[in-house]
Amino acid sequence: MNDAVLTLENFSVSYEKKEVLHEISTAIRPNRITAIIGPSGCGKSTLLKSINRMLEEEGGVSCKGSIFLNGQDIRKMPVEELRRRVGMVFQTPAPFPMSIYKNMTYAPQYYGVGKKQELDRIVRENLEITGLYEEVKEELGKSALKLSGGQQQRLCIARALTAQPEILLLDEPCSALDVKSTQIIEDLLVQLKQRYTIVIVTHNLFQARRIADDCIFLLNGQLWEQGNTRELFEAPSRQETRDYLAGVYA
Amino acid sequence: MKAKILLVKIWAVTACALTLGIIFFLFAYVFWNGAEAITWEFLTSAPKGLVIGTEGGILPAIVGSAWYTAIACGFGAVLGIATAVYQVFYCRSSRISSAISLVMQCMAGVPSIVMGLFGYSLLVLALGWGKCILAGGITQGIMILPFIQVRAEKALREVDPLLIRASYSLGVSRAYTIRKLVLGQCLPQLVSGVILGGCHAMGAAAPLIFTGAVIMSKVPKSVMKPAMALPYHLYMLLIQGTSSVNAYGTAFVMMLVVLVANTAATWFAWRRKK
């Protein structure tokens, strides 16, 4: 697959001596939503964290194989550059304990944007993308911690976008949210894929089915099956996938 | 079983009351006896008298102590906080981190008079500074370094790891994360740790005996000159046994400064929790 933005080749991860991901090979295509699904403990989050090397922040991890971002080996890239190009949103909303405005200018200031006008523009544009601007435009100086859970998560997505990434990784971004907020975020993700490539870990099969173009099914650290979401859900080719989709492992 | 619980309860309450009682008694006693020495003149003039300190005031000692403490805080804070930052954010090996902690614990256990001798042999003799405020301040700074480091490490480790990861995930460096996110979060605790360390330094005479403190000096004008210090002045007044009123007065001033600084530190840390 030449048009893949992200390619994994025989990628394995071990914690201490225990292997949690075994020789994963796959390709993630641009401007699509790829969902990583599978039962708890199958290595979904580990796989996601490998892509921006966040896994390295946890001690005792060793990796084998390679991951390529647009053909470049991510292990040969400076980690800061990789993480700028591959943004991440976490399971629990993680707004910084500062104002909404400062949350949004945190990364741009690091990348050298100093002009107030320019910063204002970045804040506005990215908040607009996530639909948060209209809700908070009067109170950008308010602490981000005072926002609702759903708003906080959208702020985190907007904040991730301020670094101008190519890929957005989301680790069960809706699992701490209510139905309404979940729906807003799902709509947002579908809209975002025009500009970004999205990889989302989810244990919610309905969610995967609703928003994902492609699915990767992991089981016991192995890539069990992958493909177009509709095909995978309607005609899984392996028995275990069928069992999982039918709720046997849940 | 019930009797046992009751016994533990009585024991705990008694111990608590006894501790508070001792502290209260100490403060009340010193304040009571020292109060008569406290006059405007006592606070603003130099010691006088045939035997130094029997007359006059303690201004040079107050200013000297402020100098020693400021240098100790500066030295201890820079090294202590930097060590803690290294341990929490940069050190990848748990062995190195444990080794640092071990060294800090050992340092915390070194008697202050030995710290004084160390400062004397290194700063006063080997570096040829002579007895001076800088040598005394740095010696005290080394003494409170582990004190500050332990508190700083604790404060840094309390920062939500999720926030730190969220910061890294934006592609910003560790240094930026520490400066913009972590230090902002921990500032009250770091400041309160340094103030408490400073109080500890202010009350310690032993590190200064060989490194900076003198019986009599003018209000210091340079850090390369020796200066009086409150605890050392107190010590001299007591061993001369000539003026117990002024000794109590000196102790009064010292304890008041420490009390105020401690309260400020507690308030500072508390404000963050709010």
Q: Residues near B211 by Cβ (< 8 Å), separated by ≥ 6?
A: B116, B119, B120, B123, B124, B131, B132, B135, B136, B139
Is A142 inside a domain boundary?
A: yes
pLDDT in tens, B222-235: 989 999 999 999 99
Sign, CA dihedral B192-B137-B67-B249, equals positive
User: How many CB pairs lie under 8 A apart between chains A and B?
Assistant: 62
Residues of chain B in contact with residue A106, where contact means CB-CB under 8 angstroms, are 167, 170, 172, 180-181
Q: What pLDDT, on the 0 to 100 scale, is given for residue B261? A: 86
Closest residue in A to B160 (Cα) is A94
Closest residue in B to A81 (Cα) is B171
Residues of B with CB under 8 A from a CB of A: 92, 94, 160, 162-163, 165-173, 176, 180-181, 184-185
Q: What pLDDT, on the 0 to 100 scale, is given for residue B265? A: 83
| Nearest beta carbon to residue A83 from set B92, B170, B181 | B170
What ipTM, to 2 d.p.?
0.93
Question: Hey, what are B112's tokens?
Answer: 């202050």
Are A80 and B173 a contacting pair at CB < 8 A? yes
Q: What pLDDT, on the 0 to 100 scale, is given for residue A165? A: 96
pLDDT in tens, A126-181: 999 999 999 999 999 999 999 999 999 999 999 999 999 999 999 999 998 899 99
Are B162 and A107 a contacting pair at CB < 8 A? no
Q: What pLDDT, on the 0 to 100 scale, is given for residue B37? A: 87
Residue A51: give its domain's CATH number.
3.40.50.300
Closest residue in A to B174 (Cα) is A80
Please tell me the total count of domains within chain A: 1
Q: What pLDDT, on the 0 to 100 scale, is given for residue A128? A: 94
| Nearest beta carbon to residue B180 from set A92, A106, A156 | A106
Strands A214-219 and A197-201, by their bridges, are: unpaired
The answer to whether A22 contacts chain B (CB < 8 Å) is no
Is A131 inside a domain boundary?
A: yes
Q: What pLDDT, on the 0 to 100 scale, is given for residue B55? A: 81
Q: What angle do CA B230, B235, B240 make, to 5 degrees?
A: 130
Cα of A87 vs its chain's centroid, Å: 7
Q: What pLDDT, on the 0 to 100 scale, is given for residue B160? A: 94
Q: What pLDDT, on the 0 to 100 scale, is given for residue B52? A: 77
Instruction: Assign B132 to helix, strand or coil.
Output: coil
Distance of residue A102 Cα from the nearest chain B Cα, in angstroms? 10
Low-confidence ranges of chain A (pLDDT < 50): 1
Low-confidence ranges of chain B (pLDDT < 50): none
Residues of chain A in contact with residue B272, where contact means CB-CB under 8 angstroms, are none
Are A83 and B167 a contacting pair at CB < 8 A? no
Q: How far, in Å, CA of B38 to CA of B274, rounded?
A: 37
Residues of chain B in contact with residue A96, where contact means CB-CB under 8 angstroms, are 163, 166-167, 181
Range of the domain at A220: 6-245
Closest residue in A to B163 (Cα) is A94
